[in-house]
Amino acid sequence: MTDEPVVVDGESLTPNAVERVARSGAIVRVPEEVRERVRESRERIINIVESGEAVYGVNTGFGELVQERIPEDDIETLQQNLVRSHAAGTGRELATEEVRAMLVTRLNALVKGYSGVRERIVDVLVRMINEAVHPVVKAKGSLGASGDLAPLSHLALVVTGEGEATVDGERLSGAEALKRKNIEPVTLRAKEGLGLINGTQLTVGLASLVVCDAERTMRAADIAGAMTTEATMSTTASSHPSIHRVRPHQGQTKSAENIRRLTQNSEIVESHRNCDRVQDAYSLRCLPQVHGAVRDSIQHLREAVETELNSATDNPLVFPTENADDRASGTERAAVISGGNFHGQPLALRLDYVTSGLAELASISERRMDRMLNPNVQEEHLPPFLTKGSGLRSGYMIAQYTAADLVSTNRSQGRPSMDSIPVSGNQEDHVSMSAQSAYVGRETVESTLRVIGIELACAAQALDFVEDLTPGVGTDAAYQEVRDHVPHLDEDRPIHRDIESTLALLRSDTLLDAVETALNDPLA
């Protein structure tokens, strides 16, 4: 992991960069040319205030109270009241990685230069990220339109010296947390409260982590599937390029390629190339098609997240005038336009799509697991539940129960983007529930990674019963890595330790690194 700062310029933030800030504690840097955009945007807001023009979020009330005009002397109070009143979250407190993801994504949205905040706001957010001042944020309260208001308000409170934050492992008031790191709290001015809280940064921050974790899970599933293919004496013919050339879905093609590469030079596959089995079960034969469809759903989400990360999502947005006469005369006025970029639907739908895909990935993994464990369907070389002396011993029998629980949980999660409850006096009459979709995506990818980890443990155990034949280049590297952390199951032992060990291998990319080193090239 590089120690280079993540450059926050409003244009180039990626899910992987968000993960670096969120999980690895990477610091951030805002280039000078980007700061100039922020200063110019602020000047436009100042001109509006001085003109006395009524503009939503600058000198009017909010939501249903949009018709209420606010006197100039009360504009600062308006902004602070907005943040205080909207900090109405409840439920669990966000994890540190979730808060840091929110901080960096909100910063990136503001530096695009369409929000009208002062550079001082940018500086405080940079310091909070780099000095690890983490606001205490309640998870529940966002409807994904007008953005993630409640969670972002809890974050914004700390910017103003209110609320609570953790610093150096201590929970402090917002004022004490900033003081600990010599950061001056901000007195909010026109538009700045709204600029801090109106946007999709909880959703897109969490969605960035979902993308990274889902891609990690996808590669792990291909590895586990390849190991199970060998352990069950199944064929890799279903991954032959000719099959996928005539149905060229991108994800399907990539998963088939991974299976071929992982099993390259496999003595196991070669040993039964001309056997009398006609076809394998769908969970093995259709692996490229199912895995590929999930892979496509993840790519679909990545595209939306990369766009959203580098978008202006608050309301209203502040643009330079489009009037050429004003520009020529030097009396340029801002065009302040109200719209709906805060609406989380572009993310919510794709998050739910990925949740469905990941649920299927866990489901097919559990079915492959059963092919190794179930004495009614497993191959002759495999003992019941992958243990000698079955009956006296249960082997990995109950590991499949755990996988079944996780698969069932995935299926029951629901799809939040299909729901909408009107709020704010019916002014905000259609919302996205995108934050809920992000939470469900996070839970589903975690459950699915656990199922894949169980399949890995079972596949390594099954390969122990394949005598005198070596696995493929990639699958052998995976087998060796699993065996370095999970010993062969001879006598019964608490299986939860095996599950946690394989999960740690997948989360840390240790298994993937070992496989890609053996292949001398990254997996797709």
pLDDT category of residue 8 using cuts at 50, 70 and 90: very high
Residue 429 has pLDDT above 70, yes or no: yes
- Which pLDDT value is given to residue 1? 43
Task: Tell me the residue ranges of DSSP E strands in 94-137.
Answer: 134-135
**68-82, 163-177, 335-349, 384-398: segment of lowest average pLDDT:** 68-82
Domain assignment present for 108: yes
Domain assignment present for 322: no
Co-location of 307 and 257 in the same domain: yes
- Using CA atoms, how far apart are residues 164 and 142, in angstroms rounded to an integer? 19
Co-location of 304 and 401 in the same domain: yes
Give the CATH number of the domain where residue 386 resides. Answer: 1.20.200.10
- Which pLDDT value is given to residue 487? 97
Co-location of 401 and 487 in the same domain: yes
Segment 154-173 shows an average pLDDT of 98
Domain edge (last residue) among 158, 173, 199: 199
Q: What percent of the chain has pLDDT over 90?
A: 81
pTM here is 0.94
Q: Which of 383-392, 406-415, 449-458 has the highest mean pLDDT?
A: 449-458
- Which pLDDT value is given to residue 426? 78
Co-location of 465 and 504 in the same domain: yes
Co-location of 211 and 182 in the same domain: no
Co-location of 36 and 86 in the same domain: yes
- Which pLDDT value is given to residue 418? 83
Domain assignment present for 301: yes
Domain edge (last residue) among 173, 199, 225: 199
Co-location of 176 and 255 in the same domain: no
56 is catalytic: yes
**What's the domain count of the chain?**
2
Q: How far is CA 200 from CA 16, 25, 125, in A?
A: 18, 22, 17
Residue 67 has pLDDT above 90, yes or no: no
Q: Is the separation of the CB atoms in 121 and 111 below 8 Å? A: no
- Using CA atoms, how far apart are residues 342 and 125, in angstroms rounded to an integer? 20
- Using CA atoms, how far apart are residues 180 and 182, in angstroms rounded to an integer? 6
Residue 331 has pLDDT above 70, yes or no: no
How many Cβ atoms from other residues are within 10 Å of residue 234's Cβ? 25
Residue 63 has pLDDT above 80, yes or no: no
Domain assignment present for 333: no
pLDDT digits (tens, 9 = 90+) for 303-329: 999 999 999 999 889 988 765 455 555
* C-alpha 51: how far from chain center: 43
- Which pLDDT value is given to residue 33? 94
Question: What is the per-residue DSSP string for 376-434?
Answer: TTS-TTSPGGG-TTBTTB-TTHHHHHHHHHHHHHHHTS--GGG----BTTTTB-----H
pLDDT digits (tens, 9 = 90+) for 446-459: 999 999 999 999 99
- Which pLDDT value is given to residue 56? 75
- Using CA atoms, how far apart are residues 524 and 514, in angstroms rounded to an integer? 15
- Using CA atoms, how far apart are residues 441 and 144, in angstroms rounded to an integer? 15
Co-location of 351 and 224 in the same domain: yes
- Using CA atoms, how far apart are residues 168 and 318, in angstroms rounded to an integer? 37
- Using CA atoms, how far apart are residues 366 and 228, in angstroms rounded to an integer? 11
Task: Tell me the residue ranges of DSSP E strands in 254-365.
Answer: 317-319, 335-337
pLDDT digits (tens, 9 = 90+) for 20-40: 999 999 999 999 999 999 999
Residue 72 CB burial class (10 angstroms; 0-12, 13-18, ≥19):
exposed
Q: Which residues of 73-110 are buried (b: 16+ CB within 10 A; e: fewer)?
A: eebeebbbebbbebbebeeebbeebbbbbbbbbbbbbb
- Using CA atoms, how far apart are residues 444 and 441, in angstroms rounded to an integer? 5
Q: Is the separation of the CB atoms in 432 and 346 below 8 Å? A: no
Co-location of 217 and 177 in the same domain: no
- Which pLDDT value is given to residue 273? 78
Domain assignment present for 161: yes
Give the CATH number of the domain where residue 85 resides. Answer: 1.10.275.10
- Using CA atoms, how far apart are residues 310 and 106, in angstroms rounded to an integer? 10
pLDDT digits (tens, 9 = 90+) for 335-374: 888 899 999 999 999 999 999 999 999 999 999 999 999 9
How many Cβ atoms from other residues are within 10 Å of residue 246's Cβ? 7
Task: Work out the mean pLDDT of the chain and round it to a whole number.
Answer: 93
- Using CA atoms, how far apart are residues 453 and 451, in angstroms rounded to an integer? 5
- Which pLDDT value is given to residue 177? 98
Domain edge (last residue) among 176, 199, 222: 199
Domain assignment present for 136: yes
Residue 78 has pLDDT above 90, yes or no: no
Co-location of 239 and 175 in the same domain: no
Determine the straight-line distance between the first and last CA of the chain, rounded to whole angstroms. Answer: 20
Q: Residue 164: helix, strand or coil by DSSP?
A: strand
Domain assignment present for 58: yes
Q: Is the separation of the CB atoms in 255 and 238 below 8 Å? A: no
Co-location of 383 and 499 in the same domain: yes
- Which pLDDT value is given to residue 325? 53
The domain of 176 spans: 6-199
DSSP designation for 65: G
Domain assignment present for 335: no
Catalytic residue, from 56, 114, 396, 401: name it. Answer: 56
Co-location of 159 and 281 in the same domain: no
Residue 205 in tokens? 């921050």
pLDDT category of residue 60 using cuts at 50, 70 and 90: confident
- Using CA atoms, how far apart are residues 122 and 99, in angstroms rounded to an integer? 17
Residue 266 has pLDDT above 50, yes or no: yes
Q: Where are the alpha helices (DSSP H) in 263-286?
A: 267-271, 282-285
